[in-house]
Structure 1
Amino acid sequence: MSSDMQVFKLPDLGEGLTEAELVNWLVAVGDEIVVDQPIAEVETAKSMVEVPSPYAGTVAELHGEAGQTLDVGKPLISIARAGAGSGSPAAAAPAALSSGIEASPAVEAAAETYRTEEKAGSGNVLIGYGTPGGATGGRTRPRKASVAVVDRAAERVAEPAAVAEPVLEPAVAGTRIPGKLSAVISPLVRKMARDHGVSLDAIEGSGASGLIMRRDVEAAISAPEAPVAAAPIAEAPAVASAAAGAVDGRTGLAVSARTPVRGVRKAVAANMTKSRSEIPEATVWVDVDATALLEMRAELKKRAPHDTPGLLAFIARFVTAGLKKYPALNTRFETAADGSQEIVGFDGINLGFAAQTDRGLVVPSVRNAHGMSARELDAEIRRLTAVARDGKATPAELGSGTFTLNNYGVFGVDGSAAIINYPEVAMLGVGRIIDKPWVVNGELAVRKVTELTLAFDHRVCDGETAAGFLRYVADAIENPGGALADM
């Protein structure tokens, strides 16, 4: 029976993520499962996670294959209730979208399009995580209003006086345009229109039942600059030929491969683009004599070969001490919807560090690093590096940093014009440590020298603060014994 079928949709995995790649199924059709049993492994832009089932019963259908990218809010698995008949998945499907109204094919298509585009704040939350900032974060049942709203909107088009305005669920109520009964649009499309100053009242929706689509807003944005109808006609042949592996129109070279931008790479691209477009960054750097630090660590290693912190842990300790002295670099710059701006300070330091993995560059963070010793920092850095490389770091471990330390010296380079890890306001980079000529007490000597580079948001502080912090860390590296004694 269809009423005995439960459809579990891909939940919001935290951090506002809108999609995930299905890596592996942990169950098969016909398996008996219990509540909270892991059913699949999925890879998001943040990490690899196991998705637990909120239902118990028999697996009736798996909605996806390994390697497929699924949208948040789309069906993941269908589960027959324990003790229920073994009705077919096809017969059970309508129950998952039941709204009390039999929807026409056109309306069902419109509802499906709406669900595809409405990726922000799904309200369908993974056990153990939460939906950040959403008004519907407290929802305890699956959303069922989308079909009903679109269907009733279609009925109003046919019979305007016969049907009263429906009662909308909070998540959908904010997506309706007054005076346009059929214009039920996703929050993502509304945000695009708001960001570009486009009035949705002036847009005719091209979707079924008058649904305003992303393409409608994009057309309104570009209308003053280019003919709306000309662009798709001109671009279509180029897209088709490129997809077929033909010669690239701009370079004259054959296209050898097309790699979808997704997962970690997609998240990095979006974050770096936002950082470059929003943060007016400046950079300061200094060469540092790290000889004393290396000698101190070598001496410690003789005494405790298996319990000596790495160089990065010592530098991390100096960084947390420096941020206590220069807290402006441990903040966040926020702009409210009304245009007002604030610099948000934190009572503590979550120290992020860049870690290269097979999935791309990720930035796990040591939470409450300000209260840790160099040895404790070393242990936590090693643990986080391991879980990040295994793809098991949690969204909280990957998205809670307040300042980033980047050791790009491991790649054999001296310096870098780093891009700040948005929404943080500063990043310290450490280059490779190499032998260089250095003047010591008026005489030329060969010393172990590295370069420190600090990129900072010029909105939160001026060069004096940035230079003061950088010099503090540099002095600590050059005189580690005295610095550690004072911390």
Structure 2
Amino acid sequence: MSRDFLLPDLGEGLTEAEIVAWLVAPGDTIVIDQAVVEVESAKSIVELPSPYGGVVTSLFGEPGQVIHAGQVLLTVTEAGSAGTPDDVDVPVAAATAAAPSEGSGAVLVGYGTTESTRPPRKVAAGRFGTPRAADAPALPAPTASVPVARAERPAEVAASASTEIDSSSTVDPIRRSPVVSPIVRRLARENGFDASTLAGSGREGLVVRSDVEDHIRDLSAPAAAPAQPTTTTTPGAPSVSDLSADLRIPISGLRKVVSQRLTTSRREIPEATIWLDVDATALFAARDQLLTATGERFSVTALIARFVVAGLLRYPVLNSSVDTASQEILQHGAVNLGIAAQTSRGLMVPVIHGAHTMSTRQLRDALAALVAQSPDGTFAPSALTGGTFTLNNFGSLGVDGSAAIINHPEAAILGIGRMIERPWVVDHELAVRTVVELSMVFDHRVCDGGTAAGFLTYVAGCIENPVSLLADL
């Protein structure tokens, strides 16, 4: 009896995902809840466990391909089943099979643990570059697979024959070391090898990022040697040195969601931008005083986040969204502060939920936790939803200001520019002060300029005189 594993509903309205890597191959025997494929949605990279156990008959998709919820990922046949078809042109289906006797313990929605009722359809053998298990040729001996897999790297093969390299950093095609991090797996894949074929230096043989980076250095070392100018190229193909060749980059995954959200924001929201230069010298002095008094470090961004939350409590209409269906302004009771973050996956806005209930110390710790995850963009899906206002510190990118695009469906976003020393007039005299530019973009449907200006000047007043915040505590 055969069963189809369908791409489940990944939650938060996500209807598609990109296959990052297959963790199994046709002919493998798997158990219920074993991770079989790694996919990347607009929110995160996850490994999907199979709701069925048995022999993997076929895979439907290849790395880089976008699949939609409800689409078949793979077909599993019960071990020892006599009904496994041998025809490579017809994918395995179970339109009339009985209900499964075992169920998955996985909790993702839409796993399709009931039998598929889709009609059989013809699929050409090797459509996705992965032959059916019944027709797959026998794997060559490991010693024969190495030169075949690296036939396009003759310099590396020659170097490996003449140079002794530690066996812990070499690729073994039959090795299957544990790999947990999607970033580590992707880094290896982008450099032409499978991370699981390395001998990991982590606990219980876990392959960590340094193992992959060490192997990449081993691969690139021979490539650094002078190469002959003659290369074998396909007739009509552009040369590697042809820098004038166009490059098509698909808008998919996170970039696709960001594109759609920003386009919707520009199309629906009549935004207006105001900005203000602020003397932040006293803010740095207050930060140093906190360090002296408590022995704890508070970042400038964390302190400004504290002022922003206080400002939203004073001007709550900015903590809103517009319900276009009912033509109502939905003013949110909770302040869920989004923090714009530049990650390796692109622009993301993780959210500090319930920021209005936090002390300055708690807000600082929550912000630090998000910053620690920002480089890899490994945020949980729940951390990327529910924001009501966004704070964007684009000063870290080296710019003074920006007319930012509001994070739809929110009503406003506050930008922090770089903080630099500038000439500033203090008590009618010229002085050198640390100055920052604040940029405020707001939805003009929600409020008028007076409200937005009141919020901006309030936050600016807290920056210029942090003690003034005590009046609102």
Measured against the shorter chain, the TM-score band is: 0.5 to 0.7
Report the alpha carbon displacement of residue 25 of structure 1 after superposing the two structures with TM: 2.3
> Which whole-Å CA distance do the structure 2 matches of 1:274 and 1:481 have between them?
40
Contact 1:408 1:432 in 2 (8 A): yes
Q: What residue ranges of structure 2 are gaps of 5+ in the alignment? A: 99-104, 121-235
- Which of these residues, 260, 263, 276, is aligned with residue 266 of structure 2? 276
Question: Is 1:51 the equivalent of 2:48?
Answer: yes
Report the alpha carbon displacement of residue 82 of structure 1 after superposing the two structures with TM: 5.5
Does 27-36 or 428-437 show the bigger shift? 27-36
Question: Is 1:298 the equivalent of 2:296?
Answer: no
* Aligned equivalent of 2:306: 317
Give the SS at the match of 1:87. coil
> Which whole-Å CA distance do the structure 2 matches of 1:99 and 1:38 have between them?
24
Amino acid in the other structure paired with 2:415: G
> Which whole-Å CA distance do the structure 1 matches of 2:119 and 2:377 have between them?
37
> Which whole-Å CA distance do the structure 2 matches of 1:443 and 1:384 have between them?
41
Contact 1:245 1:255 in 2 (8 A): no
Question: Is 1:35 the equivalent of 2:21?
Answer: no
Once the two structures are superposed, residues 430-486 of structure 1 have per-residue CA deviations (whole angstroms, 9 ceiling, x without a partner) of: 000011122222222111110111101011111111111111111111111331563
Report the alpha carbon displacement of residue 30 of structure 1 after superposing the two structures with TM: 4.1
> Which whole-Å CA distance do the structure 1 matches of 2:10 and 2:55 have between them?
24
Question: Is 1:445 the equivalent of 2:431?
Answer: yes
| Aligned residue runs from structure 1 range 200-349, under 5 A | 255-302=245-292, 307-336=296-325, 340-349=326-335
Give the SS at the match of 1:271. helix
8 and 317 in structure 1: CA distance in 2 versus 1, 3 angstrom threshold:
same
Does 308-317 or 454-463 show the bigger shift? 308-317
Amino acid in the other structure paired with 1:439: V
> Which whole-Å CA distance do the structure 2 matches of 1:457 and 1:378 have between them?
28
Report the alpha carbon displacement of residue 22 of structure 1 after superposing the two structures with TM: 1.2
* Aligned equivalent of 1:93: 91
Report the alpha carbon displacement of residue 385 of structure 1 after superposing the two structures with TM: 3.3
Report the alpha carbon displacement of residue 379 of structure 1 after superposing the two structures with TM: 1.9
Q: What residue ranges of structure 1 are gaps of 5+ in the alignment? A: 101-125, 131-136, 149-243, 247-252
TM-score, normalised by the number of residues in structure 1: 0.65
* Aligned equivalent of 2:340: 354
* Aligned equivalent of 1:119: none
Which has a greater percent of helix?
1
Contact 2:275 2:438 in 1 (8 A): yes
Give the SS at the match of 1:432. coil
Instruction: State the identity as a percent.
Output: 52
461 and 88 in structure 1: CA distance in 2 versus 1, 3 angstrom threshold:
same
Contact 2:93 2:116 in 1 (8 A): no
40 and 94 in structure 1: CA distance in 2 versus 1, 3 angstrom threshold:
closer
| Aligned residue runs from structure 1 range 115-264, under 5 A | 128=107, 141=114, 144=117, 255-264=245-254
* Aligned equivalent of 2:401: 415
* Aligned equivalent of 1:69: 66
TM-score, normalised by the number of residues in structure 2: 0.67
Once the two structures are superposed, residues 197-227 of structure 1 have per-residue CA deviations (whole angstroms, 9 ceiling, x without a partner) of: xxxxxxxxxxxxxxxxxxxxxxxxxxxxxxx
Give the SS at the match of 1:286. strand
Does 392-401 or 23-32 show the bigger shift? 23-32
- Which of these residues, 446, 470, 473, is aligned with residue 460 of structure 1? 446
54 and 290 in structure 1: CA distance in 2 versus 1, 3 angstrom threshold:
same
Computed over aligned residues only, the root mean square deviation of the Cα atoms, in angstroms, reads: 3.0
Once the two structures are superposed, residues 2-53 of structure 1 have per-residue CA deviations (whole angstroms, 9 ceiling, x without a partner) of: xx21111112212322321111223344444343333222111222122222
Contact 1:403 1:427 in 2 (8 A): yes
> Which whole-Å CA distance do the structure 2 matches of 1:328 and 1:479 have between them?
25
* Aligned equivalent of 1:80: 77
**Aligned length, in residue pairs:** 347
389 and 69 in structure 1: CA distance in 2 versus 1, 3 angstrom threshold:
farther
Give the SS at the match of 2:379. coil
Report the alpha carbon displacement of residue 377 of structure 1 after superposing the two structures with TM: 1.8
* Aligned equivalent of 1:213: none
Give the SS at the match of 2:273. strand
* Aligned equivalent of 1:486: 472
Amino acid in the other structure paired with 1:383: A
> Which whole-Å CA distance do the structure 2 matches of 1:457 and 1:278 have between them?
10
Give the SS at the match of 1:414. coil
89 and 54 in structure 1: CA distance in 2 versus 1, 3 angstrom threshold:
farther
Amino acid in the other structure paired with 2:299: G
> Which whole-Å CA distance do the structure 2 matches of 1:411 and 1:257 have between them?
26
Report the alpha carbon displacement of residue 128 of structure 1 after superposing the two structures with TM: 4.7
Give the SS at the match of 1:415. coil
Give the SS at the match of 1:474. helix
- Which of these residues, 384, 398, 401, is aligned with residue 370 of structure 2? 384
> Which whole-Å CA distance do the structure 2 matches of 1:485 and 1:49 have between them?
46
Give the SS at the match of 2:286. helix
Contact 2:401 2:417 in 1 (8 A): yes
